[in-house]
Structures are given as C-alpha cells and as structure tokens.
C-alpha cells in the first residue's frame, strides 16, 4: 500500500485515517495557528477542513472541501476571518459518496447555557443505535456525522456545567474517539477510555494546544507537553489546565497501526518516535524473514523507514528503486479512462537503471486488497528485476477497522481470503512475508503481545476488538461504521 492517502479514486487500495484535530486557547493568532496545525495534520484527512474560532462575542466558522492549503492558503482570505484568541479545527477523510458540506467538522450548536463547537477523530460504534433513539425522541439531524449525535446528547443533558454535560453525553457513547470541544470560555479535550486514537497536549507561549500528533506542534514552534491519557478529560481555561477521569477505567488499547502507517514519521506517539519504530519494524522483518538479494527498495513513501531498517539489519544495500511523483494528486481526481488505466504508474516509476538484472527486496507497510501490490511487483519485474521478494511491515490485515480508519469489508481484504502462499501467487512475487504480530509489538518496545490483555488495539490483524461493536452486532452496519454512513 503506497502512501497516497485518498488523493485519487483509482488508488483506493489503501487504508485511510479519517480525521485530525487541532485546538488552541488564549493566543492572539489562534486562527492562523490552527490553519498551520491542520496543514501538518493533512495526512490524516484530505477531503475537507473546518475551523471555528471565537472572537469574544461570537463564533466564526469556516468549512471547506479540499486541502487546508487550498481552502486557507490562497491569499489567506479565509484565515483572516478567523478572529479571536481561541480556535478549533478539523481535517477529515470521507469514506462514502464524497464529502458533504453538512458533515464538515467542527460541528457547532447553540445550546441552553452557551454554544459549543465539537470535532473528533475516531468512530462511534453505537452511533446508529444512538441516532435511532434520538430521532425517535424528536431530534432533527442536520448531518450524517456521529459527531452530531454527541451534540444532541450534550443538548439533552440536565447538568448545568458544559463539562458535566459533555461527560453525560460521552458516557452514552461507545467507540474510539479523541475529541476536542470549544466554548466561549473553555477548550476541552477527551480521549476514549481505551485511548485508541491519539491526542497530545502542547504549549505555545502559555497557550495550551490539543492536537492529534506532535507534528502539528512542531510546525508552529510549540512545545510538546504530554499525551492526553486514555479516559482523560482536560479543560483549558484562562486559569490553567484541569484534568479529570470521568469514565470507568479500561485497559489501554492504542491503535498499533498508527506506528505502521497512519502517524507522520516525525511525530512522537505515546512517547515513541514513529520513524524509529518503523525502522525497528524493518529490522524485525529482516530478522524474521531474510532473503538473499542485491538491494532493499521501499514502496515510497510509507515503506521507506521500514526498508531502511531492513537494509541496515540485513546488510543489504538500500536503494531507491521506485521513484514517486509527489505532484499527482487532486488534479486527477476525476481522471479520464486513459489516465485511469495508467493507475499506479502515474505515481510510481521504476528506476530501471538500478533494477535491471537485480534481486530485489521490496518493502511496503501493508497489503489491503492487493491490487496495488500486484501492480508494483509487476512494474518492478517489467523494469528488469530478476527476483522480487515482497516484505510487509505489518501482519496480514484480515479484519476491518471499526474505530476510525476506513477499511474495506473484510471479504475484500486479500489476507482474509487467502493464505500467505496464495497471496504470493496472486501478486506474483518470488517470496512474500509479513512481520509477525509479536515482532510488531517488539518494534514498539514491548517484549511480546500479551494474548490475554493485548497492550494495543490490533483488531485488524487479530480480530480481537476491544470495544463493543454494538451497531455491527445489532445488524445496523454490515461494514465499517463510516462517519458518513447514511442511515435509512
């Protein structure tokens, strides 16, 4: 799976993170800083961007389809509207049928006791059930986003304080979420009790920041303070930051796929540098699945750190055998048939001079449907490689994610349908190997996976789902619970 992340419809053979969040409180440039923070989080969602700021009198909302730079970069006209010292922003990747303006976060509502803007990264696993109840009780939904269900639950709470109302709402919610809310006087951040999705606390000149990843802090020169902990709720006001633990404690299950693919390699995630973790994954893979070859080449960009780790551990030279065109993106969002036919070649070109007659170890982060992997192996062979040994920096992806990552139905996942040998044959590689699940755990600093109480969420590899799948089990969803799933 190459790291194109929803840039083009002809490459949907990839997993997609659905959202990134950024909030800042008490800084004179809050709006512009939020634009920059979201720009750094663009890899977590490219379909739309929304920012809400508060200028001391009113909330100002800007929501746009497309990339942050396209919406807020050009002449800065939209960014200048975001006045005030506090702001909350969100980038998202839509999973079904395009990006509807009504679903662009943050969601905003005027409630008794004051207004609230809310954005989250993740997915509620009882969203359909909640929505049915709310609609039966008279709620009128403006969107199909499960964030709106949270807003309705906040509105119905009988507590007086906004933080208590938010807690009342979240106690009814199941799923994985890192949520940030903005009111006239507070910036609030919450991680679900399992801590599946990331959320960090930063500081810029005394102004607290909540962001999905530390790369959003780096871009504005902010300091990383700490990760928000699983089940923790923090409230930032002019008087400082308060921390609460309002939920029943659960075993922590951070998403291990953040280390493999989703997070940016320059981010620190749960105290671990993502780039180093990926290199260690490559080293483990070299140890577990060696091959005799002349060179190690990554499928760019996401396979690069693991390929470096593999090369370093095996002593086989690292080479750039595939060159990625970074400028293929939304220009081809609706490609004509002849362009669509070119597929993977629009983005990846083999470095023929390097590959001719060589035995190659090709390293990628994962195999989803297998269609892209097959084309890449074919491309490397056509360029003259004499052998292609495919090494994958994650265990076989056998199950769908229901916690905020867009994955196909499990029936479409190659590893769900085939054995490793069948997959090797399908993609036409000379050999194929995946890192073991224990090897992946070792790369993140664990000794091995604790089978009784896994240290991470690894459900897409193991089928061991830590959080109830109420909507799925109740027959309300036969696939991933999309943030955009239309409810009949």
Residue 263 is a binding residue for ligand SF4 (CB under 6 A)? no
Q: Tokens 């997609």 sit at which residue?
A: 16
State the CB neighbour count (10 A cutoff) for residue 141.
15
- Let me know: does 306 contact 274? Beta carbons within 8 Å: no
Residue 126's Cβ-count burial label (10 Å; 0-12, 13-18, 19+) is buried
Which window, 131-139, 231-239, 250-258, 409-417, contacts ligand SF4 (CB under 6 A)?
A: 250-258
Name which of residues 387 to 416 contact ligand SF4 (CB under 6 A): 401, 403, 405
Q: Which of 458, 472, 476, 485 binds ligand SF4 (CB under 6 A)?
A: 458
User: Please, what is the minimum distance in Å from the beta carbon of residue 1 to ligand SF4?
Assistant: 12
| Residues with Cβ within 8 Å of residue 428, at least 6 apart in sequence | 374, 377, 378, 381, 388
Q: Which of 10, 22, 247, 257 binds ligand SF4 (CB under 6 A)?
A: 257
Residue 181 is a binding residue for ligand SF4 (CB under 6 A)? no
Which of 16/424 has CB closer to ligand SF4? 16
C-alpha dihedral, 279 to 283 to 286 to 289, nearest 10°: -90
The footprint of ligand SF4 on this chain (CB under 6 A) covers a number of residues equal to 11
User: Please, what is the minimum distance in Å from the beta carbon of residue 401 to ligand SF4?
Assistant: 3
Q: Buried (b) or exposed (e) across 78-110, using 16+ Cβ within 10 A?
A: bbeebbbbbbbbbbbbbbeeebbeebbbbbbee
- Let me know: does 448 contact 456? Beta carbons within 8 Å: no
User: Please, what is the minimum distance in Å from the beta carbon of residue 403 to ligand SF4?
Assistant: 4
Q: Which of 328, 457, 469, 477 binds ligand SF4 (CB under 6 A)?
A: 457
Which window, 39-47, 48-56, 138-146, 254-262, contacts ligand SF4 (CB under 6 A)?
A: 254-262
Residues labelled catalytic: 19
Name which of residues 188 to 207 contact ligand SF4 (CB under 6 A): 196
Whole-angstrom distance, CA of residue 469 vs CA of residue 466: 9
Which window, 48-56, 87-95, 433-441, 452-460, contacts ligand SF4 (CB under 6 A)?
A: 452-460
| Residues with Cβ within 8 Å of residue 315, at least 6 apart in sequence | none
Q: Which of 116, 210, 255, 295 binds ligand SF4 (CB under 6 A)?
A: 255
Structure-token pair, residue 25: 């409180």
User: Please, what is the minimum distance in Å from the beta carbon of residue 265 to ligand SF4?
Assistant: 17
Structure-token pair, residue 455: 């240290």
Binding residues (CB under 6 A) for ligand SF4: these are 196, 255-257, 401, 403, 405, 457-460
């Amino acid at each position: 799976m190459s790291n194109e992340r929803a840039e083009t419809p002809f490459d949907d053979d990839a997993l997609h993170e659905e959202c990134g969040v950024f909030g800042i409180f008490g800084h004179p440039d809050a709006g512009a800083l939020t634009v920059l923070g979201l720009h750094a989080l663009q890899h977590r969602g490219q379909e739309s961007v929304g920012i809400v700021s508060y200028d001391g009198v009113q909330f100002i909302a800007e929501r746009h389809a497309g990339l942050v730079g396209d919406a807020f970069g050009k002449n800065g006209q939209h960014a200048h509207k975001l006045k005030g010292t506090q702001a909350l922003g969100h980038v998202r990747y839509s999973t079904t049928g395009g990006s509807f303006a009504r679903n662009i976060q943050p969601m905003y509502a005027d409630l008794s006791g004051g207004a609230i803007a809310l954005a989250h990264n993740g997915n509620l696993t009882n969203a359909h059930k909640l929505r049915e109840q709310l609609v039966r009780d008279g709620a009128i939904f403006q969107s199909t986003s499960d964030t709106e269900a949270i807003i309705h639950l906040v509105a119905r709470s009988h507590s007086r304080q906004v933080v208590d109302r938010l807690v009342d709402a979240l106690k009814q919610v199941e799923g994985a979420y890192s949520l940030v809310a903005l009111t006239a006087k507070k910036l609030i951040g919450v991680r679900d009790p399992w801590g599946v999705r990331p959320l960090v606390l930063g500081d810029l000149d005394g102004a607290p920041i909540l962001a999905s990843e530390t790369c959003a802090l780096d871009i504005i020169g902010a300091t990383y303070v700490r990760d928000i902990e699983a089940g923790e709720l923090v409230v930032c006001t002019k008087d400082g930051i308060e921390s609460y633990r309002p939920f029943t404690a659960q075993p922590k299950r951070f998403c291990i796929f953040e280390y493999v693919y989703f997070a940016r390699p320059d981010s620190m995630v749960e105290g671990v540098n993502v780039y180093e973790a990926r290199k260690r994954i490559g080293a483990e893979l070299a140890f577990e699945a060696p091959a005799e070859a002349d060179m190690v080449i990554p499928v760019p960009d996401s396979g690069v750190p693991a390929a470096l780790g593999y090369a370093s551990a095996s002593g086989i030279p690292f080479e750039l055998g595939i060159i990625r065109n970074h400028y293929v993106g939304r220009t081809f969002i609706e490609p004509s048939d002849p362009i669509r036919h070119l597929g993977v070649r629009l983005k990846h070109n083999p470095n023929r001079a390097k590959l001719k007659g060589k035995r190659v170890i090709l390293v990628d982060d994962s195999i989803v449907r297998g269609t892209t992997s097959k084309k890449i192996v074919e491309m490397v062979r056509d360029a003259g490689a004499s052998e292609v040994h495919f090494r994958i920096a994650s265990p076989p992806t056998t199950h769908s994610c229901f916690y905020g990552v867009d994955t196909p139905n499990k029936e479409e996942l190659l590893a769900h349908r085939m054995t490793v040998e069948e997959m090797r044959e399908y993609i036409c590689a000379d050999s194929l190997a995946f890192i073991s699940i224990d090897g992946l755990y070792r790369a993140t600093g664990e000794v091995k996976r604790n089978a009784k109480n896994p240290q991470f969420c690894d459900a897409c590899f193991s089928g061991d789902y830590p959080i109830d799948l109420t909507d799925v089990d109740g027959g309300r969803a036969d696939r991933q619970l999309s943030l955009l799933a239309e409810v009949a």
